[in-house]
Amino acid sequence: MAGEQKPQPILINRQIVRTKGRKPKIWYILKCNNCAKFFKRGKQQKFCSLSCSSSYRNKHRTGIKHPFFGKKLSESHKQKISSSNLGKYRKRWDDIGYHQKHIRMKRAKPKPDKCDVCGMPYVKLNMVNIDHKYSENSDDWIWACYSCHKRKDIKLEQGAK
Ligand SMILES: [Zn+2]
Ligand SMILES: [Zn+2]
């Protein structure tokens, strides 16, 4: 915008302090560009404080003035962010417990309206891991009714012996 300019020191008054044997000292009375408070400095400044200077900068740093404007995050940078977030906000599969794995797999694999094994509709279904390795692969997980789940577990236990 044409009306928007860089902030300038707003000089209200000048005080000259003369001390015998010394160079006269000039004090400037200025108005802060951010909070409009008056302040006194030995040199002409635009803001009364550092926090006013940074909050003014933040307020006026929009659109093309914003440091990220027109810049795109590179793919590798994006991946870095998502992989670092993965450890922070979303635990890795190997770090979560039995229960969490079931919950996460339920989200990944929506519940069907019939048993994945016997095809019986309208039965209570449980998320079952077919080989009890609890891998992250959704193909290793099925929705099974109570009797199929029981049968599968029995089979697994027999096979393990
Ligand atoms: Zn201020
Ligand atoms: Zn079944």
108 and 59 belong to one structural domain: no
**Residue 54 alpha carbon to ligand 1 centre in Å:** 10
Domain limit, last residue, from 24, 49, 65: 65
Count the Cβ atoms, other than its own, within 10 Å of residue 30.
23
Whether residue 61 is predicted with pLDDT greater than 80 in this model: the reply is no
- The more confidently predicted of residues 78 and 10 is 10
- Residue where the block lists tokens 């000039």: 26
The pTM (predicted TM-score) of the whole model is 0.43
If asked whether residues 60 and 100 sit together in one domain, one would say no
User: Using one digit for the tens of pLDDT, what is the confidence trace for 74-128?
Assistant: 767 767 666 665 556 678 898 899 899 999 999 999 999 899 999 988 789 999 9
Domain membership of residue 135 as a residue range? 96-160
For ligand 1, a single-atom ion, the residues with CB < 5 A are: 32, 34-35, 48, 52
Confidence of residue 132 (pLDDT cuts 50, 70, 90): confident
Q: Is the pLDDT of residue 15 over 80?
A: yes
Higher local confidence (pLDDT), 38 or 130: 38
State the distance from the centre of ligand 2 to the C-alpha of 137, rounded, in angstroms: 21
Total domains present in the chain: 2
Q: What is the pLDDT of residue 6?
A: 83
Q: Which residues of 100-110 are buried (b: 16+ CB within 10 A; e: fewer)?
A: ebbebbeeeee
